A and B are shown apart, each in its own frame.
Chain A
Amino acid sequence: MSALALQQHATLAHLDWLESEAIHILREVAGQCSNPALLFSGGKDSLVLLRLAEKAFRPGRFPFPLLNIDTGHNYTEVIDFRDLRACQLNERLIVRSVEDSMRRGTVVLKSSGESRNKHQSVTLLEAIEEFGFDCCIGGARRDEEKARAKERIFSFRDEFGQWDPKNQRPELWDLFNARVHKGENIRAFPISNWTELDVWQYIERERLALPSIYFAHRREVIRRNGLLQPVTELTPARAGDVVEELTVRFRTVGDITCTAPVESDADTVASIIEETATTTITERGETRLDDQTSEASMEQRKKEGYF
């Protein structure tokens, strides 16, 4: 808040404006919903959400638990960080796992190697039902993807968790409508209007700690379809693969099987900001194996209950 000038009719600098809008959205969730949850993965966007929740609700406790849908295919650095952060904040963390859904038979993989990313929707909907959540707060941004660019900040989902892009609730001014009938719910996106660069600038300004894999490190990778596939137990090298050890960092952190790192020497937030400002490839385009399948893949997943 140091940017506040003391002259008449001062206005907020852009990061202060975005922060203030996000706090307003979080408080509207708290004011309007009876049983919300905040989706927290340990990734950078959800870490920004946690800082915004601190700004919105301290010195009180958060008026919602943190909820993580664990695919079982996450980097341990991120999972450890998730647990550490929840503990530091002294807030309740609920973890529900895709593997439990697989055991129940509600998630059936086409093959054992299939990405579990899209199956998170099933586990999420099961958790929503188990706890009776009427709203899930998520860290999705409109600049990430074309379908997201059209989604409301308070996005209505029917009893099946489905998003109907052609029949969205009108959303005017900052008058959000979180009313639902039992079984339906709202997905609220406080950082809808942020870009990847805004997120990094905020991380720098707030001096937020992040899981180590966001920063440059040495890693064994295989070049596949123009992306770098990390060599892990889940994604081992196949016969004929050329394994290289490169200096890389992750721009997004998701399921191991569908998140690719990028070649980078950026080992500080400042150098990542510099790279983000000068990159020629979008965040999801460079790193997400699951968005390349078709022009409409995110839209399809959202219709099925994805974040």
Chain B
Amino acid sequence: MSAIEHLPGIDNGLLRFLTCGSVDDGKSTLIGRLLYDTKTILADTLHAIARTSERRGLEAVDLSLLTDGLSAEREQGITIDVAYRYFTTGRRKYIIADAPGHEQYTRNMVTAASTANLAIILIDARKGLLTQTRRHSYLAHLVGIPHIVVAINKMDLVDYDQTTFDRIRGEYREFAATLGIGDVSFIPLSALNGDMLVDRGERLAWYSGPTLLDILENAPTAHSERDERFRFPVQYVCRPQKSGDPKLHDYRGFMGRVESGEIAVGDEVLVLPSEQRSRIKAIEIHGSSLPRAIAEQSVTLLLEDEVDVSRGDMIVRAQELTLVTRRIEAMLCWLGDTPLDPQRKYLIRQTTRETKAIIEAIDYRLDINTLQQLPAERLGMNDIARATFKLAQPLCVDAYRENRSTGAFIVIDESSNNTVGAGMIL
């Protein structure tokens, strides 16, 4: 694959995926190898990490050095925050979210997973399923990543043994069934030697499935798989009447992004939560008119009637309502240093809407290692719980399982303004 072939046809969209595994599973090596084999790493970067590897007395170039960005990470040889990497193959552009494997950084994994459409979960072939594997799989499932690829790595250290691969695959399938994870693929790898990443290599001849890159090239991107209802949270209202152009005097454009579904000129719509009805008069972007808009497209909508719409409102198709509610039940991941205090009021941001909220109940806390449900009064950093919130203002929501945009929210602590929680509406 020469770089020049990259040029004409990057038209198969963009896939965001996540890699997770523990410190020693070879995750950084896998990413380094993927970048190296797709010729994304450029000579000076390679030269820099070769120099560092040499300085540290390593025999071969340590590709994992590519993903360690911060000085603290280089000092400690660990990954402490989500790093994003980019590559293209000629068919597709990729964004890799590299999430750390340490327990104390679970919140970073949830962060990385929130925008991913596929997760690669690394397992060390010598060690099989670990607590960490279960935790990562649960989190990937919780955050609604539709495709999971279990990469059984370090096959070179078990003599490329098929029985080992089969045994781990069997164990994982059993575990995945208990969680209800449906779409899982398994692949044997040696990230170190590059077997089954981009090239098949010669030592895994018994495996006839696709290489890792083949899986990535063919995985569906977000929104391409299911029919979704039209959701358009209004971000900003454009009223340029002061510009002096008389044509724009009555212009009221509702700016936002189609979070799901699609919309066409003439469609009957409803503005929530006020339930005002109208029709789509025009769909515009920067002066040009579009007959329709699809999921993930940022556009400006103009309505037939003069209705009162502002930031935070949601435009939906008349026959595709959301739930408008002042109470939400959700799976909540606590991210803040300060524990959740059930006495306090928090701020919830969902789509472009914000409301004050109080915790009505913590139904249970989940032990993420055993998946046991435990009673809880408070929640600390990295805790996951099922909780019920009472809201000061209504939100227009869908279940997270059905819609990752309108089913997600963050919790903000008003005293620090920090984002302290992430919620997925049930």
Contact = CB atoms under 8 A, between A and B. Distances in A.
6 contacts: A8-B227, A9-B224, A19-B298, A193-B95, A278-B2, A281-B43
Nearest to A59: B240
Given A55-B286, A147-B69, A299-B70, A12 B419 contact: no
A13 interface: yes
A239 B356 CA distance: 69
A163 to B, nearest CB: 11
Contacts of A143: 86
Interface in B241-273: 243, 245, 248, 251, 253, 255-257, 262
A56 B405 contact: no
A165 B84 contact: no
Contacts of B349: 175, 177
Contact of A278 (B4, B255, B296): B4
Nearest to B286: A55
Contacts of B414: 179
B378 interface: no
Contact of A286 (B11, B44, B52, B251): B44
Contact of A170 (B111, B248, B352): B111
Interface stretch (B75-83, B178-186, B192-200): B75-83
A278 B85 contact: no
B110 interface: yes
Interface residues of A, number: 70
A252 to B, nearest CB: 14
Given A27-B235, A171-B111, A282-B45, A1 B84 contact: no
Interface centre among A23, A61, A171 (most CB of B within 10 A): A23
Contacts of A180: 417
B236 A31 contact: yes
A179 B235 contact: no
Interface string B5-23: 0110011011000000000
A278 B286 CA distance: 33
B15 to A, nearest CB: 9
Nearest to B69: A146
B326 interface: no
B409 interface: yes
Contacts, number: 212
Contacts of B298: 19-21, 23-24, 27, 55-56
Nearest to B245: A59
Nearest to B115: A173
B42 A150 contact: no
B296 A150 contact: no
Interface of A: 1, 3-4, 8-21, 23-24, 27-28, 30-31, 54-61, 63, 142-143, 146-147, 149-150, 165-166, 168-175, 177, 179-181, 192-193, 195, 197-198, 273-274, 277-282, 285-286, 295-296, 299
A171 B413 CA distance: 14
Nearest to A181: B417
Contacts of B279: none
A80 B4 CA distance: 34
Interface stretch (B148-156, B207-215, B287-295): B287-295
Given A13-B13, A177-B412, A277 B419 contact: no
B243 A172 contact: no
B422 interface: yes
Given A60-B240, A281-B43, A1 B7 contact: no
B167 interface: no
Given A20-B298, A27-B235, A56-B298, A285 B45 contact: yes
A160 to B, nearest CB: 17
B285 interface: yes
B71 A299 contact: yes
Contact of B419 (A55, A169, A174, A286): A169
A179 B412 CA distance: 9
B107 interface: yes
Given A13-B13, A282-B45, 14 more contacts: A14-B92, A18-B14, A20-B257, A27-B236, A57-B236, A60-B253, A149-B83, A150-B70, A170-B111, A170-B419, A175-B410, A179-B412, A195-B88, A281-B44
Nearest to B297: A20
A257 B104 CA distance: 43
B294 A170 contact: no
A1 B235 contact: no
Interface in B107-122: 107-108, 110-111, 114-115
B238 interface: yes
Nearest to A55: B286
B240 A61 contact: yes
B101 to A, nearest CB: 16
